Structure 1
């Protein structure tokens, strides 16, 4: 894993497009990650990518928690544990930053994502609107 650099922006945007396009029909609109400004996110040092750019995670340190803003995996790589690996990396980053918890949100219609996060120890903390979409808010406390 490494931080994305400006030269990676096109590949990052393509990866997000490929990863989230199948969800458009399920959600009924473009998922939130498809609307993000990846130039700004890369420039801010928030986008972490796999060495071969087949997966990424956007991590935003907040007060007492690390926000997992986006996880994207190349659809050709689904089912190989890459998403779980990215989430494990997020936990490592939270610990490195001294943050005791992680939080994320996902669309209420993305049932497979919710199930994955629950299997990783995330618990639902509520539901709310996020940029015109219904989201499930989730959190994971890290053991000391």
Structure 2
């Protein structure tokens, strides 16, 4: 059975392994580790921003999200590459949308690295519109927004 639930302390090693596996393919493209590979998952878990996608006893993916003024910000979403193609990434994004609706927020926002071309193709397919590009913390980021409809 698949469930998405708040992360617990015992999940953090699995989340870190998932992040490394999901993002390591981008190290050469970007020239350094992408921000999600070195994220502070302890803090995200403690603050209630980290959720895991669990199937049976295994963590197959995670999402970090939190409310901002007028939207949910999706800071990080990843699925273990060995588990990709099963709809888990879409389930995590659907979860983020449900959280936005639950909180009465009309939109979601996120960014990805400009060199993560797979994501640049994915987000528009699932309803996100590009809203801007800028360099932050030494990363070339592409920003997206999805307005929820009833």
- CA deviations 1:8-47 (Å, max 9, x no partner) are 1111111111111111112221111112111111111101
TM-score after normalising by structure 1 = 0.96
**Structure 1 unaligned spans of 5+:** none
Return the alpha-carbon distance in structure 2 between the equivalents of residues 111 and 17 of structure 1.
18
SS in 2 for 1:54: strand
Displacement after TM superposition at 1:7 (Å): 1.4
Return the alpha-carbon distance in structure 1 between the equivalents of residues 119 and 42 of structure 2.
26
- The yes-or-no answer on 1:20 pairing with 2:26 is no
Displacement after TM superposition at 1:93 (Å): 0.9
**Structure 2 unaligned spans of 5+:** none
1:9 to 4, 7, 12: 12
2:88 to 72, 82, 93: 82
Return the alpha-carbon distance in structure 1 between the equivalents of residues 94 and 121 of structure 2.
16
Please show how residues 122-141 of structure 1 align to structure 2 within 5 Å: 122-141=128-147
TM-score after normalising by structure 2 = 0.92
Return the alpha-carbon distance in structure 2 between the equivalents of residues 36 and 44 of structure 1.
14
Q: Which residue of structure 2 aligns with residue 43 of structure 1?
A: 46
2:102 to 81, 89, 96: 96
SS in 1 for 2:59: coil
Aligned residues, how many? 144
Displacement after TM superposition at 1:130 (Å): 2.4
